[in-house]
Structure 1
Amino acid sequence: MCQARLKGASIGSTEIEFIPGKLSGGQYIADTMTAGSISLLIQVSLPCALLAPAPVSVSLRGGTNADMAPQVDYMGEVFRYMLNKFGGDFSLDVLRRGYYPKGGGQVKIEVTPVRCLQAVDVTERGDLRGVHGWSFVAGTLPIGMAHQMANGAKQGLRNICNKVNIEVYKEDRSMAPDNCSGIILVGEMTSGCVVGSDGLGKRGVEPIEVGRKAGEELRKVLESGACVDSHVQDQLIIYMALAAGKSTVKAGEITLHTQTAIYIAETIAKTKFTITPCGEHNLIQCTGIGFINNNLPPA
């Protein structure tokens, strides 16, 4: 997408050099060739696509619901709404599910570039409007596992939310032929903030425990008073650095991923982030560089 050159990318190399070129719009394909996370491909491609000179369409292949990364549904149901606050957006279409170890998932995203990202103030959460989500199984796994995960999630959220609506379903074999189970939870606030959590079924772990852990993770975010969850927290750093003006985000405990993202943003963009403890949460602040996409005319 940025016509880059890469040096030193070989087995045993201890150093690589990445030299970006000029951004271009158009159609692209990225294939992990494994069950590698499609959500992570979305994370790295979106900033470039949003500041490209023309619309961008990207076909992504790999794992749609992978461990150690947000499930692709989270990207569309949580991350997208937080990106909207910066003035960016994308469409996401899941064409086929891909799970570990085979992969084979296919997702298409389409992005309309913006001239400049706007600073955000995400410090007022408002009241919890409700929690909704999806509990699924695929392949030969029984639907009862999805019901157990949903019940576990409700146990984890007990006494914090009376309105919990979790859809339980089995993926169509034409969409997802391989075995997998998982749950995605989304909490909506009256302020427009959205927080989430998710979990994947694992061998040796009871489905009810998978759901309970996802519910307790969301409960922790809701009780902390934070406006963003730990999964979206680090993803916002690059947009805060590029935006025009001062951004403030109320987060919970600062994750290692966020600390790393801040270090990279400060090194490359020469911005300065501050983290101010405030009770059970932290305020992340940054005055962005106000990057202008000169390929687009002023509004």
Structure 2
Amino acid sequence: MLVIDGGILEGGGQVVRMAMSLSALLRKDIEISDIRSRRSKPGLKAQHLVGLHLIRDMTCGQLTGDHFSSTDITFRPNELISGNFFGDTKTAGSVTLLLQTSLPCLLYGSCLSYLRLKGGTNAEMAPQIDYTINVLKPILERFGVSFDCEVIRRGYYPKGGGEVVFKVDPIREIRSVQMTEFGELTKISGYSFVAGVLPIKMSHSMADSAINLLREAFPGVPIDIKRVHENRDKAFGNGSGIVLIAESSNGCRVCGSALGKQSVSTESVGESAAKDLIEDMSCGAVVDRYLQDQVIIHCNH
């Protein structure tokens, strides 16, 4: 059995997510100790438990220590299976982080799988669902990965209530991809949204403040940011945010994003997303700071 230090480096939930996925793919028993030990509230939370149970179900495996605030678990996976899987954080826990855990395993099932997830679609400390659809998905498609994403309902902090369905096609092997040059910046697109009782003028404010910085940094580059007030039947609760995506002639995509907060002005939210994008673009990277740990597991298949 392989023993993994769950407190290594930043000691966050990503250690648990990737360890569980790799354990299932390699069919190797693992023990993870000191889970999230560097966090202010160590141990497993609702979102982490849902991810653990999804991987357990996808392998018909044996999982022990899977309870709230647990800092130690043991997992013994069996063969990967395909099918219909469901996970509900019952909080604003991120559905995109649950996908990160599940997708590598679903890709190596024997047939088509469906994954229905409930929780937060646009949550702090996690990729927004718009990032998953517009950045992660097209990049993984270059590796031969194929999945569809249907957003049934958006959900925000603190209530959650979002629902997303993923349809994942199985794959025989990952294609090798060479991404070493960003190429020429061809356009910047974006999505500035509000939901619930929040007024559409907040969406305009986030978009306008972002555009001002982007035009200064990238003169002459086409910029198109949609301003949206989410339909009440397509969003649960109040929320706001912005996602900005830069696309290149070599098919690279770099993103900057931010979520609205009561204590932060809408102008500052838009500027924060734009500054993230500008900073990542300035170093000439072919992927942004958020995509790196999402694609690395697929590079090791």
Common topology (TM > 0.5): yes
Runs of 4+ in 1 over 6 A off after TM superposition: none
Q: CA deviation at 1:21?
A: 1.2
Alpha-carbon distance in structure 2 between the residues aligned to 1:111 and 1:10 = 28
**2: CA distance between counterparts of 1:180 and 1:12?**
28
Q: How does 1:32-111 map to 2 (within 5 A)?
A: 32-111=89-168
TM-superposition CA deviations, 1:101-123 (whole Å, max 9, x none): 11110100001111011222111
Alignment match, 1:198: 257
Which of 107, 116, 133 aligns to 2:173? It is 116
Match of 1:219 in 2: 278
The answer as to 2:299 corresponding to 1:240 is yes
Of Structure 1 and Structure 2, the greater helix share is in 2
SS of the residue corresponding to residue 152 of structure 2 reads: strand
User: 1:12/1:57 Cα in 2 relative to 1: closer, same or farther (>3 Å)?
Assistant: closer
TM-score (norm 2): 0.78
**1:292 equivalent in structure 2:** none
Change in Cα spacing, 1:94 to 1:20, as seen in structure 2 (3 Å) is same
The reply to whether residue 24 of structure 1 matches residue 81 of structure 2 is yes
Contact 1:39 1:64 in 2 (8 A): yes
Q: 2:230 aligns to what?
A: 171
Call closer, same or farther: CA 1:102–1:87 in 2, change over 3 Å: same
Q: What is the alpha-carbon distance in structure 2 between the residues aligned to residue 95 and residue 160 of structure 1? A: 36
- Length-normalised TM-score, structure 1: 0.79
Pairing 1:123-272 to 2, within 5 Å after superposition: 123-161=180-218, 162-242=221-301
Per the alignment, residue 39 of structure 2 pairs with none
SS at match of 2:292: helix
How far apart are 1:9 and its partner, in Å?
Answer: 2.2
TM superposition shift of 1:6:
0.6
Amino acid corresponding to residue 140 of structure 1 in structure 2: V
Alpha-carbon separation, structure 2, partners of 1:43 and 1:11: 21
Indicate the SS of the match to 1:59.
strand
Q: What is the CA–CA distance in structure 2 between the aligned matches of 1:12 and 1:85, rounded to whole Å?
A: 38
TM-align CA RMSD: 1.2
Pair 1:210–1:81, CA change in 2 (3 A): same
Q: Is the 8 A contact 1:136 1:170 kept in 2?
A: yes
CA contact (8 A) 1:156 1:214 kept: no
Q: In 1, Cα distance between the equivalents of 2:127 and 2:178? A: 24
Q: Which runs of 5+ in 2 are unaligned?
A: 1-57
Kept after mapping to 2: 8 A contact 1:90/1:110: yes
Unaligned runs of 5+ in 1: 243-299
TM-superposed CA distance for 1:174, in Å, is 1.1
Asked if the contact 1:8/1:16 (under 8 Å) is kept, the reply is yes
SS of the residue 1:61 aligns to? strand
Distance 1:178 1:138 in 2: 7
Shift, 1:160, TM fit: 2.9
Q: Does the Cα contact within 8 Å between 2:156 and 2:236 map onto a contact in 1?
A: no
Residue pair 2:120, 2:156 contacting (<8 A) in 1 also: yes
* Aligned pairs, number: 242
Q: Using the alignment, how far apart are the partners of 1:187 and 1:198 within structure 2? A: 12
